[in-house]
Structure 1
């Protein structure tokens, strides 16, 4: 419920603050006084786009703030889903800056226009004679039937199942596409994998093989230099070992004479031990060295295989080839496993289809039962609104696929007069007829579901007399269950309100401003009398106004 509205620097409004109560509120005023400005301001807090032309003073920002009582709306899930603080009295604020930028806030948390629009759909329904296209849409016609049919819980379950169904179907489509793709590559992937497996690749072996190849390719040269090194080291008279031993022997003789000689002796001993160990290792390498052409050929073949595979796969190491081998192995395994996954998902999909068919059938049956209830109620109300021969006919046929609200395709047919054929509502109903039909529908829905605050914007255009009285009665009856505003030019409707607001213009210096005020009982009498007879209010108009109010 809208509890207050504050407007600053918007169109002809400099500063306006107004509190509202529940039930039936009337807004009147001369043409051009600013009623459309109020709707424009409300439209901004409901997510409509704005521009700089909205600013009265182009140097100051425009601020529109509304307070809503959400205690009856069950909107906590919306706030949680959008990570917003829930407050029973929720504040929505919209600011338009002189730069042209716009900002929106819900309980002081910044939000985008999409979030604002989504929340707005739960809060206010602004309805005018020119906004009856909603009634022509199949989606809205289904919503009306579902409200009468009490399909809410069943529809919620259906939509949950539909979401699962779509998810499974999407996953199944991806798996089948993957399967098709893998099937085309399966033979080639298997060939590549077998080729890599046959190579028996190991991490680090390339460097090892290249070292072995280098050694086997230079056996004679290596042996020659090892033998020469051993000869120099072990020559009986002038070999390095013999000379080192003599140096060691000489230094040992003087080692006791000073610490310096002792250190030199010990260092030579260390060198001798190390060189002796080197000699033994060189000798061992020489003994192991064998000219093995067969092994050389095998090593060369293995390296050529590795180089060939690296070139084929455009990599530079055995490790990268092993990664490719693992990836190919996974693809081959995946191709084999995909069939099992697809089979499981197809079974799950079949189960979802059975559940959805059952739910869609129940929803459809409930709608068919609701049709006579709805059409009877609408025709009864329209008869009171000057359309005694109005007739409605819902046509329901089964859709070929699961829709967002079941498997029904709905068309609402209408005939306004006796002897005329039924036709699509949007094609055969006039603007005035659509307005009255929408009023009838809204009044019926008020008995079956919790509607948001509704604002009827001159929905009574072209209506007068007793029908105007009846329209006012219907709106007043609706206001027992919800907050209703009526912007009207008809005194018969204006007199029905629980409270009455007037929009008017004032000249202030060089500018004109719009104001909104809550009328007292005496002011209401004068306002309604003026609506009856114009600016020159007669005594009979005042008497008539009092009679209407009473």
Structure 2
């Protein structure tokens, strides 16, 4: 719902701020007062193309801004999030749409402080506001929009069958696409299977182990430097424990033992503690000597043959790591990843047979549901056409007929096996053409009003704007237009530009645009009328003399009749809700 509109330097409006309410709002004023400028501001906010000539004379740019309360589930939020104008998990209450237009024709679009393309502004606007008028874009102009409107009008049963059809169609499309892909790539898949089978056989035969390459590298380095290692081990052993040939030479272990015995010879606590520590050192030195001797012994058992075996193993591991992964661990991971793929493409015949069966079963189910969906759409279309045609008769278009055409599409589509078209024949003998063709601006506005009233809550947009909806009508037909606008306003916000008091009387909010002149420049004032001033404005619209007693009496009668209609409508709504409960 539009909560507030701010306008600056558009046409005859220099500066205006307009707070709007739910329900029905009417804009009235003398010809040329600037009612169209309000619609121009809305067009700017909704991302439509606006001519630079709309910029007020003497101004460098025009501006329009609207604060719009947006339902949390509205698709407008998805667009705003994608544009960076709202956060995915942020509060979802209102958006601020703004647009500026320079006198040179350049424009700037803004959503909640973030500059966006005008197309983004339009995408958000179309989901929040529907404008019906002679130059406005028709909300139900496209076949997809007409189909969606009819489907919502069709109610729960149609929605249930449509959901079942979509699930069956998705299953059919998935099985069909996979079957075609496998069939078309059979040769490539066979080659891939052979290559995978050979690769996995090679990896399995090698039986490479995690960390094996590093262990082999360490062993190879040891064998390549065996003489140096043997010499180091032997020298260490000699230094620690000595040799048989040099039994009298001092050794590290012997010296430590001698020191320990010397300390033990004196009965002193400090020396005793030191002797104990040397006993630990002696044990460690002895362990090192034993391990060094064992190391030298092992080196003697491994010769050039073992080195050759290690180098061959390292070469084999390097071969698979070059082809399948940088490390043995990566090679093993690659093998585990590819085993399911080999199993999948190694059984293509069975897979094709299974997919063909799934495809045919899903196609049969989707075809059956599509027929059921077409029947329900045809039934809903007949009811929609009947009710809209009745509304058109009350709106001074007694000969107009709406037809809802449901024809075969020739193949299954994501939405069914049919095409929906809303066709209008505005008068006898005229061909039934798609909405927007063959009807005048005023007629089209009334057609859309009839459609929106019948669709009611089935296909809602938060705000509707009507321009010229009462063109060419008067008397009882004008009252009927006002009644239907009021009925629609029970569900959504409705904004109407009108010159008929019979329509204006039904408004909950009455906005007057008053033209004035200052220093030779025409300007307009936009103001919400209090209840006391509505009689005066309606009297002006009735007779052109707002002070006329007769006109004011007639104006008060219109307001009283509209209030009585609103009370009856509320009562009927309550009874309907009670019956449904």
Q: TM-score, normalised by structure 1?
A: 0.69
Q: Distance in 1 between matches of 2:552 and 2:278?
A: 132
> For 1:91-142, what per-residue CA distance to the aligned partner results, in whole angstroms no more than 9, with x for missing partners?
664466999876555xxx9998999877866764321023364454323433
Query: Match of 1:302, SS?
Result: helix
**Aligned equivalent of 1:155:** 159
Q: Distance in 2 between matches of 1:470 and 1:104?
A: 43
**Aligned equivalent of 1:476:** 482
> For 1:403-426, what per-residue CA distance to the aligned partner results, in whole angstroms no more than 9, with x for missing partners?
464332123455556556655565
Q: Residues 363-442 of structure 1 correspond to what in structure 2 (within 5 A)?
A: 363-380=373-390, 382=392, 390-391=400-401, 393-400=403-410, 402-403=412-413, 405-415=415-425, 428-429=438-439, 431=441, 433-442=443-452
Deviation at residue 476 of structure 1 after TM alignment: 1.9
> For 1:192-218, what per-residue CA distance to the aligned partner results, in whole angstroms no more than 9, with x for missing partners?
222222222223333443444455556
**Aligned equivalent of 1:28:** 28
Deviation at residue 478 of structure 1 after TM alignment: 0.7
2:135 pairs with one of 121, 130, 133: 130
Q: Distance in 1 between matches of 2:256 and 2:4?
A: 110
1:139 pairs with one of 132, 140, 144: 144
Query: Match of 1:525, SS?
Result: helix
> For 1:496-531, what per-residue CA distance to the aligned partner results, in whole angstroms no more than 9, with x for missing partners?
77875431222356865322343432342233323x
Unaligned runs of 5+ in 2: 79-87, 559-581
**Aligned equivalent of 1:454:** 464
Q: Residues 80-479 of structure 1 correspond to what in structure 2 (within 5 A)?
A: 93-94=96-97, 104=111, 124-131=129-136, 133-146=138-151, 150-152=154-156, 154-155=158-159, 158-159=162-163, 162=166, 166=170, 184-216=191-223, 233-236=242-245, 240=249, 283-285=293-295, 287-288=297-298, 289-290=300-301, 292=303, 294-313=305-324, 315=326, 320-337=327-344, 356-357=366-367, 359-380=369-390, 382=392, 390-391=400-401, 393-400=403-410, 402-403=412-413, 405-415=415-425, 428-429=438-439, 431=441, 433-446=443-456, 453-461=463-471, 463=472, 467-469=473-475, 471-479=477-485
Taking a change above 3 Å as real, the CA distance of residues 195 and 297 of structure 1, as seen in their structure-2 partners, is same
Query: Match of 2:421, SS?
Result: strand
> For 1:305-329, what per-residue CA distance to the aligned partner results, in whole angstroms no more than 9, with x for missing partners?
23333444573xxxx1332232123
**Aligned equivalent of 1:14:** 15
- Larger of the two Rg values belongs to structure: 1
Taking a change above 3 Å as real, the CA distance of residues 119 and 170 of structure 1, as seen in their structure-2 partners, is same
Counterpart contact for 1:394–1:411, Cα < 8 Å? yes
Counterpart contact for 1:494–1:500, Cα < 8 Å? yes
Query: Match of 2:33, SS?
Result: coil
**Aligned equivalent of 2:39:** 39
Deviation at residue 457 of structure 1 after TM alignment: 0.6
Query: Match of 1:185, SS?
Result: helix
- Match status 1:516 vs 2:517: no
Q: Distance in 1 between matches of 2:496 and 2:230?
A: 111
Q: Distance in 1 between matches of 2:14 and 2:36?
A: 12
Taking a change above 3 Å as real, the CA distance of residues 137 and 303 of structure 1, as seen in their structure-2 partners, is closer
Deviation at residue 333 of structure 1 after TM alignment: 2.1
Deviation at residue 458 of structure 1 after TM alignment: 1.7
1:487 pairs with one of 480, 494, 497: 497
Query: Match of 2:517, SS?
Result: strand
Counterpart contact for 1:46–1:120, Cα < 8 Å? yes
Counterpart contact for 1:55–1:62, Cα < 8 Å? no
- What RMSD over aligned residues (CA atoms) do the two structures have, in Å? 5.7
Q: Distance in 1 between matches of 2:367 and 2:325?
A: 54
